[in-house]
Structure 1
Amino acid sequence: MVKSLVLIGACAIVSSWCAAKADAVATYGATVNASLTIRSIVDAGDPSVLIGDPFDLFIGAGVLFDPALDAQTFSVGDATTQVFGPGTVNAAGGDPNDLAAGDGIVLSAGTTGMARPASEFSEALSFSFPSGGFVIDNFSFDTTYVMEFGLTYDWRVEAFAADPRRQFAVSQVLLAVDDADFFDNENDYFDLEDTGIPFSDTDLGGGVLTGSGSATFSVTIDPFGTEFVLLFPEAGGQAAAEPVPEPVTAMLGAIGLLAVGIRMGAGRRRAGPSIQA
């Protein structure tokens, strides 16, 4: 009689353990917000005089985010993902193709994901990479203009794994301001990577990390010249969870195994590689 109670108690413990693991979730989230504003415009020959809206300098701006083109998602098993990339052009005059000092763009990149233990391996992977920027045309015969831009930004990354032995999550953000020469392999005006890529990784403790910053830079536009100032925020993340037995299956299995005196051990498998920038 005592032995039967021990078996029943063992089965109840196994069932409770499996139920808890089945509800355990690995999650990630990443967001980066950026604002890029025209601070001032001057004549390079007389930089002491601010020119708010030169008649021969044409400045346009735009933002782009199409989930089909500017994002990537993947999920398998019991996993979900979400991506977003809202952006706006702030034009005091109301025309995004006729900007002046004080105007600018605001752009965000974000993603979230979840992987839950199920009867099979579960994984979520997603990236959001919207873009925006300015096109500047100088139609002057002899005037070189210098524009000063101001960048402000903030970011948040988070990663959680309820059972780090069987689950994994990581998230990261990137932010760059570049010209149109993509073949120089450098972000000419600003690169958040220069101060370290913000990320959260459950293998390193995970949790929530936040940050913010600002930068200024100048762009020179020669007579009859065209310059581009392009903003690239990016957010990405990955979560994975190993399969675990369903509670009912685990209970029945425990009863059968204990009855014949067989002892089982559970292996551990590392879930998923880290995401790449």
Structure 2
Amino acid sequence: MVGRSWSGRYIPTTAKDREKSLPLETEGISEWFALCSSSRHVFLRRGSQSRVLRLCDDSVATLDATVKRSVNSEARMNGNFPNRGRRRLLLGAPALLLGATVSGPVSALSSTPPQSEGPFYPRSIPSDSDADLTVFNGERAPGEVIEMVGRLFDAKGQVLSGGNIEIWHCDVNGVYAHVGQSTPPGFQGYGAVRTDGSGNYRFRTTRPGIYPGRTRHIHVKVRSADGADLTTQMYFPGEPGNERDGLLRRARDPGALIARKEAGSPPRYVFDIVLA
């Protein structure tokens, strides 16, 4: 007997399972699974384990890869891991079966790739280093105001509260607030904030400029409450220089370092961070 995989390809099943199961046509798969619209996590939607098809190994591998791609590419951005009664998150395990369900967050997320600190991390932390980098010493920094927001996770998908997030970047002219550098009076250039109980952080700053050899970016340094740390960089979507930037191109997963832009005033850039 045969059944259908998500791709519509026929795969072997047992007669007993086929009699118990619902049709698994491509269009009918929504009867069994719902893809969460914000984060595309996969949840068991209908039927008990006794009614779930036991797929053969090649189908399991296909499903496992699909789940992992969905989680790794988008869970970082949204961080929504609901547990709603009978809807259970499927784990991407080597021997994954459709009937094997587990409550709680995803078993593993890909950690945010590390990047170099660069030469312009502050030699001493400025007295004004809050989360609003648009005003410094009573003066407003020139440039387009933006927001940088996100959540901090560990590799198991658990949110991390109390984590310290630092950012620093150049001004609109591509100059850092550093020893020997001349920047506008209102340019703060550095800020720090701790994540709240849901792992959220938020900065208000100005859109950084560019300088030779680099695309537009913001430096990020993270330390969790238990001491795990990461130094990396956030990049802006749609920048012509992204494809030419050597640091970004050499990253383990360049796409994980490019923020998601949300429309609004000011524009918001979402950059979730996953610590290994």
Larger radius of gyration: 1
Superposed pair shares fold, TM > 0.5: no
> Whose strand fraction is larger, Structure 1's or Structure 2's?
1
Taking structure 1 as the reference length, what is the TM-score of the superposition?
0.22
Name which structure has the greater RCO, CA cutoff 8 Å, separation 6+: 1
